[in-house]
Amino acid sequence: MATLKEIAQAAGVSLTTVSNVVNGNYHRVSSDTVERIQSLIRQSGYVPNQAARSLAQRESRIIAVIVQAIENENIFRNPYTAEYVGALTVELYKNGYFPLIRYTDDYRDVEGDLRGWNVAGAIFSGAYSRHLKNIKSLTTMPTVFTDCYFRIPGINHVGVDDEAGGQMAAEYLAGMGHRRMAFVANSIEESEVDQHRLLGFRAELADRGITLPDQCVIPTPANIYNPQTLQELMRRDAPSAIFCTSDRVAAQLVQALHLLGYRVPEDVSVLGFDNLPLAELTHPPLSTLAQDINQKAKLVVDMLMRHIRQKDLPPERTLLGVWLVERSSVRRYEEG
């Protein structure tokens, strides 16, 4: 309820002085009055009004966190998104900023929110390039892109090495003796993340003289839930190992395979991606290509903070590594 003005009156000083104390500009105020004002602030339970601050400074303490979505789907049903946005939230609060979580497939909304709230910066996750092209504010505001391959000069970016991930998957599965494989994507059409994982996977297989036929690339998990399609894949191509672009898809695939009577990993091996908590809850627990989501979130937020504090910083790009975590969903392939 208390305002700067009221505190100023109570302390017998000017508004400016109180403002300086609140914002930590102690070199402009005598240590005497600093203490006096601070105790008044504590007593009165003063809380700065964020709207007024945003208005005067033309910048709020809000960071937009924007997630690619399909219409009004619940984005947090995707455990990767939940884990990642949760981690971003933690890091933002640590830095005194507030996340404004926006899911959308219509980036006109986004543009409006970014400007309407005078956000200090933005973090994009998983956005498709064709959408991002339409957002103008992006170049004028501190922004970090993640989980996407949108390329314009001067953009900050934190990614995981999806191609290397695909390559490691191929190395591992081929090394375990597998020769007939399949790949399940989230959305091979739209997601460049998926495309890069497939790219690395296919290239490394090719290097080893193994080809991944087109009909063994499942473009979206929706197909895998359809018993017909899955059964057909298993009968026709008889893959002994299936690499999935996420643990979520892998978990659902394991379930679908069970329903059709296939045992994992005795009949088919399944390899995931992300190393989410979910990977330990399936049966068998998922072998997977791990990424460090907490580290990613921290890097992203730190990078953003840097660019908010110093607006003319040159753009940065960081690529995070992935590594293999072996559990029990992949086994060595034995002929016959």
Q: Which of residues 50-79 bind DNA (CB under 7 A)?
A: 52-53, 55-58
- Note whether 27 binds DNA by CB under 7 A: yes
Query: How far apart are the C-alpha atoms of 194 and 186, rounded to whole Å?
Result: 7
251 and 277 Cβ atoms separated by less than 8 Å: no
Give the orientation angle of helix 31-44 with respect to helix 15-22, to 10 degrees: 80
Nearer to a copy of itself, 61 or 307 (CB): 61
Which of a copy of itself, DNA, none lies near 12, with the C-beta cut-off 5 to 8 A by kind?
DNA
Interface residues with a copy of itself (CB under 8 A)? 1, 47-52, 54-55, 60, 72, 74-77, 79, 82-83, 85-87, 89-90, 93-94, 98-101, 103, 111-113, 115-118, 251-252, 254-255, 258, 277-278, 280-283, 285, 294
Per-residue burial over 144-179, b if 16 or more Cβ lie within 10 Å, else e, is bbbbbbbeeeebbbbbbbbbbbbbbbbbbbbebebb
Nearer to a copy of itself, 26 or 93 (CB): 93
CA nearest to 196, candidates 209, 213, 183: 183
Strands 181-184 and 156-160: unpaired
Nearer to a copy of itself, 78 or 156 (CB): 78
Nearer to a copy of itself, 48 or 219 (CB): 48
- Note whether 4 binds DNA by CB under 7 A: yes
Which of DNA, a copy of itself, none lies near 79, with the C-beta cut-off 5 to 8 A by kind?
a copy of itself
Which of a copy of itself, DNA, none lies near 77, with the C-beta cut-off 5 to 8 A by kind?
a copy of itself
- Note whether 90 binds DNA by CB under 7 A: no
Nearer to a copy of itself, 20 or 89 (CB): 89
Q: Which residue among 30, 95, 139, 226 contacts DNA (CB under 7 A)?
A: 30
Which of DNA, a copy of itself, none lies near 23, with the C-beta cut-off 5 to 8 A by kind?
DNA
Q: What share of the chain is helix, strand, coil (3-state, %, to 5)?
A: 50, 15, 35
Phi-psi category of residue 100: left, alpha or beta, with phi > 0 → left and psi -120 to 50 → alpha? beta
Phi-psi category of residue 199: left, alpha or beta, with phi > 0 → left and psi -120 to 50 → alpha? alpha
- Note whether 19 binds DNA by CB under 7 A: yes
The enclosing H or E element of 295 equals: helix 293-309
The DSSP symbol for 176 reads T
Which of DNA, a copy of itself, none lies near 83, with the C-beta cut-off 5 to 8 A by kind?
a copy of itself
CB of 207 to DNA, least distance (A): 56
Q: How many other CB atoms sit within 10 Å of the CB of residue 69?
A: 18
Nearer to a copy of itself, 29 or 75 (CB): 75
Block residue for tokens 């190395």: 171
